[in-house]
Amino acid sequence: MNYKSLLFDDTHVVQQEQKPAEKVEKGNQPIQFDGNFGLERRLGKNGEKQQYGLTILFEEDGKSNEIKYELSVSYLGLSDEHTFLYQIDRTSPVYINEIIPDLLADKLAYEAGKIFYPLVVETRKDGKFLSVKNSEAIRKRWIKAKAGIEDYFEGVYAAKYIRLMDERLADDHFIQICFRDDWFIQTYFQSIYKNYLKDLSVEGNLLFPNLEPVALGYKTTETVSPRTNHFGSIMLQHEGYLEQDETQQATGGYQAKYILSPASKAVQIIIAEWWIKEISMKKVTLKLFTMDKLDHEKLPTNISASSIEGLVFLDGNKTNKSNKGFWSKWF
Q: What is the pLDDT of residues 180-194, one digit of tens each?
A: 889 999 999 999 999
Give the pLDDT of residue 248: 73
Residue 329: band (very low, low, confident or very high) from pLDDT cuts 50, 70, 90:
very low
Cα–Cα dist 218/252, whole Å:
8
Query: Strand pairing partners for 195?
Result: 38
Pick 143 or 296 by higher pLDDT: 143
Q: Give the tens place of pLDDT for each residue, 68-82.
A: 999 999 999 999 999
Q: How far is it, in rounded angstroms, from Cα 171 to Cα 2?
A: 43
> 48-330 in CATH: which number?
2.30.230
Of 147 and 294, more confident: 147
Q: Return the percentage of the chain with pLDDT > 70, whole number.
A: 79
Q: What is the pLDDT of residues 268-288, one digit of tens each?
A: 999 999 999 888 899 999 999
The pTM of the full predicted model, rounded to 2 decimals, is: 0.79
Residues 205-215, mean pLDDT to the nearest whole number: 78
Range among 26-35, 222-231, 239-248 with highest mean pLDDT value: 222-231
Residue 263: Cβ-neighbour burial (10 angstroms; 0-12, 13-18, 19+): exposed
**How many of the other CB atoms lie within 10 Å of CB of 194?**
22
- Across 214-220, average pLDDT: 82
Mean pLDDT of 310-326: 36
User: 75, 44 in Cβ contact below 8 A?
Assistant: yes
Give the residue with greater pLDDT, 330 vs 293: 293
* Percent with pLDDT over 90 in the chain: 53
